[in-house]
Structure 1
């Protein structure tokens, strides 16, 4: 960025020098030559200023993007504090909202995989064979939470996806 500043100052100095030398000229041909030279310096200066403006615009945009990322990161850090790691009977893990943190929200669990990626994905209840389970519809993780007691045959006529989750 300093290159364009130095170039701009150099261009301004050259334009000033040419203007000063024009004052001492006595013939029209000499004046015309200096005017052409001045125009060239001014056009070069204009190009440098345009480049500086484009660089400034790009840097401003990058700063805005980074500030948005920092804000998102801070918000996620605050949101993460509302959850704690929970281990189910089967040994599987999910992040469960702390009882004193859920306010008006119902108690719920988050996918550990998505949580580690900085995404809040609420798990949905389902069944997987002989187990009650939770499914993440974002990453398709299936978390078996407890074994279903054997109560004899049950017939279900509802369409289910491949994991047994509705």
Structure 2
């Protein structure tokens, strides 16, 4: 029998006992019985409070368990996904994770942000033009900027892509 169902039955039984004790109290048999009935009602009330607290605690534990199971599944999926990437150098001192040719599965080759990759997230780098003569890339997730290889022929131009021109 599930624990939640057991707790519900226990609460129902305690409620019935409380009503029974109230019925005895209403008969006003004598002072000694009335005193014992009050003690019984207090014990029942305490038991109800403890059961409600236990039920609440169990609900919290179940919610935490569910969250941990989801996180575990996400990390397992990421473990499989990250094996599809290899660490490569964009330029001296700039390393990113690039999709392996053998793991393409119809996807184009792309690079992932090393910061997002370390956080078990998938932030793709997009080309943002030239910056100080270097190819410039920006993470689509965290917006971190990365400089790629130096393009000597364009070192004095700071090109920023503007979108598609009409007629082309």
Superposition TM-score, scaled by structure 2 size: 0.70
| Helix, strand or coil at the partner of 1:150 | helix
Structure 2 equivalent of residue 38 of structure 1: 40
Out of 143, 148, 155, the position equivalent to 2:146 is: 143
Aligned counterparts of 2:91 and 2:162: Cα–Cα separation in 1? 28
| Cα deviation 1:67-119 (Å, max 9, x = unaligned) | 11111111111111110101134442110001011111111000111111111
Shift of 1:129: 2.6
Could you say if the C-alpha distance between residues 154 and 147 of structure 1 is closer, same or farther in structure 2, counting changes exceeding 3 Å? closer
| Number of residues of Structure 1 aligned to a counterpart in Structure 2 | 139
The answer for unaligned runs of 5 or more in structure 2 is: 1-9, 164-168
Counterpart contact for 2:111–2:124, Cα < 8 Å: yes
Structure 2 equivalent of residue 60 of structure 1: 62
Shift of 1:145: 2.1
Counterpart contact for 1:123–1:136, Cα < 8 Å: yes
For structure 1, which segment, 151-160 or 92-101, has the greater mean C-alpha deviation from structure 2 after superposition?
151-160
Counterpart contact for 1:134–1:144, Cα < 8 Å: yes
Aligned counterparts of 2:91 and 2:45: Cα–Cα separation in 1? 76
